[in-house]
Amino acid sequence: MPRPAAAQPRLAWAAGALGLTAGLNQVVLLRELLVLAGGNELSLALSLAGWLCLSALGSLLASRLPLAPVSPLPALLVAGVGGLLGLVLARLAPVILGFDPGEAAGLGRALLSCLLALAPAGLAAGAAFPLLLAVVPSTESAPSGVLARVYGLEALGAALAGALFATLLVPACSPLMILLLAALLAAGVAVAVSPLPGRWLALAWALLLASGLVQAGTWDRVLRQAQWPGRAMVALAETPYAQLMATRQAGQTDFHASGLWFLSWPESQRRERLGLLPLLALPQARQALFIGGAAQGAAMQMASSSQVRVTAVEPDPWLLDFVSAHATPGAGPDNLQVVHGDGRLFLQRAKGRFDLVVLDLPPPATVQLNRFYSQEGLAALQRALTPQGVAVLALAGPGEGLGRLQARQMGSLLAAARASFAQVLPFWGPELLLFCAKQEGTLSEDPALWRERLAQRDWPQVHAVRDDLLDQGLDPWRRRQFLETLELTGPHRPNRDLHPLALLHDPHLWGVQLGGRSALAEALAGLRAWHLGLPLLALGALLAWRARRGKATVGRARLSLGWGLLVAGCTSTAWSLLLTMAWQSAFGSLYLGLALLLGSFMLGMGGAALWAGPRLEALARPSAWLGLGHWTLALGCLATLGVAHWLSLLGAPGKGYQVLVLALAALDGALTGAYFALAGRAGRLLATGPARLARLGGGLYGLDLAGGVLGAFWPLLLVPSLGFGACLGLLTLLNLTALAAFQKTKGT
């Protein structure tokens, strides 16, 4: 067994390398699962819940193993192997579970995919923590400080992983290459800190990983091809905005962004409808704006078929180049201008510039997309129009049947549109188009007038826009049937930024096919804040009564500490995800923002844990500080609620808002790190006999992660059904229950 002085540097290097490896494993695998879920960020919460659950299980199991490793080698090796195996399983998940990528998977199948892909890496990440602590000799004079230091250094390693992923690794490396580099780093540290003969094992593993890097691109492509059987893989590209992919089948090239289809080539029908029907709605238009549509071709179609000056806004600078490299749309006309940036922010700054605005986007299946279909987003769209202007929203066509879930979603979108526009005209076709006018009477409902306008246009090569399409789309019987179907599921609340009802009623999220229904989604739609608020108030009152009644005992103190850890873990994860959603609703850049938020959170966590570590042994009663932690977590949730509502009133957020959200993320991390360090000290005080640090640390780490599982589900289920504010308010109540449990606890 190495002496304490010799063990400390080894432990520090190993903890940082473990955090970096586990962080890269986590972000790569979560992004792979995001692709399987069609880009839906709510699936990110589900994947995070799976990761935390498996990590908690790994930590609890490893803490009870009768092992006493003399080096960090086992922890570092299992972390590297787990990530690589997880990527292979993520790529093969559609084949193993029997579904096609891009199919409406639903929560059940998404959960199975998460457990399958994350099991090796999640279990390894959780088990590595107590395996590292097992290296600490039993003669260590400040075990609480060591526990906090390992936790903090691991967090700082994860923060570095997030920063490297977004800034350096994504544009340059394939996912397999990133995980090979992470495993190679862990192996290199193992070579440096392991005694013989373990050093030779680590060196052999490192050489094997280095040889794998040479063929990483080829193997990554082979794994992706296995994920899409029957389709020829044309191209892959990783960008900070999405994972882009082009596949070819039967002469048609399909383009996907984060697993969500957005374009097929050659295919002219959709781009003709979206590019030309708006011109028939407002023939006198002179300035048009497309949010999306540049890569899809609708903006080019309008520009080449008219004299209208067209501006197209694309958020991903890589997307247009990617499509152009693998399709042949031809050179754009002179009256087409492509701008890279966020479409929502562009709308907020336009203010009365455009006669036509077309949303050529996928349906509101993600937080990033929902912000264009929310009441706030549609209000920004309305302000970008001239007084006689018209906006066009393209939604997935409901066909001849409209299920209850789709009807509720359409109803919330229609309610949001009617809050800003005087006239909303549904146009029934392959896509459901909502024509929205600032002034009543701007849009004609007479198919004959639309046919007359079509006859006046010189569009000899156009096949998708025909008289029969106009008759079908403006048929009064179809329109009346559509509106009556919506009324049967009403009344409908408008879709909002901070209350994304469109996501709650999204058929893709629940795996519902056209015309189907989901009992869980409809049950959540009926959920109200008091349904959860009253039980939480009752629980808090019960815990407070129990804490004040009778004598304080060690058993009661342990229960209070366990409940506090669960609540802190839940709050930390839920708060982090809610900040991610707030960032996404404001700026729409998930991957860039995710790296910044993750980095801020982990820096706060690592810094607080490292600061608290040397001061813990002198702390006699950490219970008061744990209670203060719950007070601060509750106030932080309330502060986030205020910031989010300030954002909804602000319109176009700037750098100050970014700094404020990042500061809240750092505060969340700092409270999490400090709380875990204090919990370690409290656990040592409650120990009734000699306890291995690995067992204590593994148990506390497992409880913390188990609370994170609940925290990951919290926004997934509550934000779409109750809204952002109620979700944060309930988190505040949850922390008050933990505060009540800490009264009159012995020894802590």
Closest by CA position to 410, among listed 531, 545, 507: 507
* Cα–Cα distances in angstroms (integers) from residue 475 to residues 15, 133, 339, 472, 643, in the given order: 67, 71, 37, 5, 46
The C-alpha atoms of residue 576 and residue 557 are separated, in whole angstroms, by: 28
Amino acid sitting at position 240: P
CA distance 84 to 89: 9
Any idea what DSSP says for residue 615?
A: G
Name the residue type at position 524: L
Compute how many other C-beta atoms are within 10 angstroms of the C-beta atom of residue 532: 18
Q: Are 437 and 484 in contact (CB under 8 A)?
A: no
CA 39 to CA 27: how far, in whole Å? 14
- DSSP letter assigned to residue 493: P
How do strand 252-257 and strand 309-314 relate by DSSP bridges?
Answer: unpaired
SS (H, E, C) 703-714: HHHHHHHHHHHH
AA letter at 693 = L
Query: Cα-Cα-Cα-Cα dihedral of 26, 29, 31, 37, to 10°?
Result: -130
| Distance in angstroms (rounded) separating the CA atoms of residues 504 and 510 | 9
CB contact set of 738 (below 8 Å; sequence gap of 6+):
563, 564, 567, 568, 630
Whole-number pLDDT of residue 69: 63
Tell me the C-alpha distance between 73 and 195, whole Å: 9
Token code pair at residue 537: 């108030």
**Residues 505/380, Cβ–Cβ less than 8 Å:** no
pLDDT digits (tens, 9 = 90+) for 283-294: 999 999 999 877
Please report the pLDDT score of residue 2 as a whole number: 42
Residues paired with residue 287 on neighbouring β-strands, in sequence order: 309
Nearest in space to 357 (alpha carbons), one of 429, 440, 274: 274
Task: Report angle CA 238, 244, 247 to the nearest 5 degrees.
Answer: 130
Q: What are phi and psi of 353, to 5 degrees?
A: -95, -25
Q: Which domains, ranges and CATH numbers included, belong to the chain? A: 1-229 (1.20.1250), 267-454+466-513 (3.40.50.150), 527-748 (1.20.1250.20)
**3-state secondary structure at position 262:** strand
> Which residues, 6 or more positions from 29, have their beta carbon under 8 angstroms from its beta carbon?
47, 51, 83, 86, 87, 90, 117, 118, 121
CA distance 73 to 206: 12
Rg (CA), the chain: 28
Main-chain dihedrals φ then ψ at residue 13, nearest 5 degrees = -65, -40
Q: What are phi and psi of 465, to 5 degrees?
A: -100, 105
Single out the residue of 744, 743, 730, 712 nearest to residue 46, CA to CA.
Answer: 712
pLDDT lower than 50: segments of the chain: 1-6, 513-515, 689-690, 746-748
d(C-alpha 15, C-alpha 12), whole Å: 5
Look at residues 339, 313, 319, 444 and name the one whose alpha carbon lies nearest to residue 390: 444
pLDDT at 3: 41
pLDDT, position 577: 84
Which amino acid, one-letter code, is at 364?
Answer: P
Amino acid at site 679: A
Mean pLDDT of the chain: 81
Distance set, CA 593 to CA 163, 600, 658, 667 (Å): 11, 11, 9, 17
Strand partners, 314: 340
How far apart are the C-alpha atoms of 713 and 468, rounded to whole Å? 47
Residue 108: predicted pLDDT:
67
- What element of type H or E holds 232? strand 232-238
Q: What's the rounded Cα separation, in Å, for the pair 27 and 53? A: 16
Token pair belonging to 464? 């998708």
What gap in Å lies between CA 14 and CA 73, rounded to an integer?
Answer: 9
Three-state DSSP class for residue 321: helix
Residues 575-633: tens digit of each pLDDT: 988 888 888 777 776 556 666 787 788 888 888 888 887 777 677 677 778 888 889 89
Q: How far is 25 from 713, CA to CA, in rounded Å?
A: 21
Q: What 3 state SS string does 194-228 have?
A: CCCCHHHHHHHHHHHHHHHHHCHHHHHHHHHHHHC
Of 561, 571, 666, nearest in space to 622 by CA: 561
Residue 206 in contact with residue 17, Cβ under 8 Å? no
pTM metric for this prediction: 0.81
Cβ atoms 260, 365 nearer than 8 A: yes
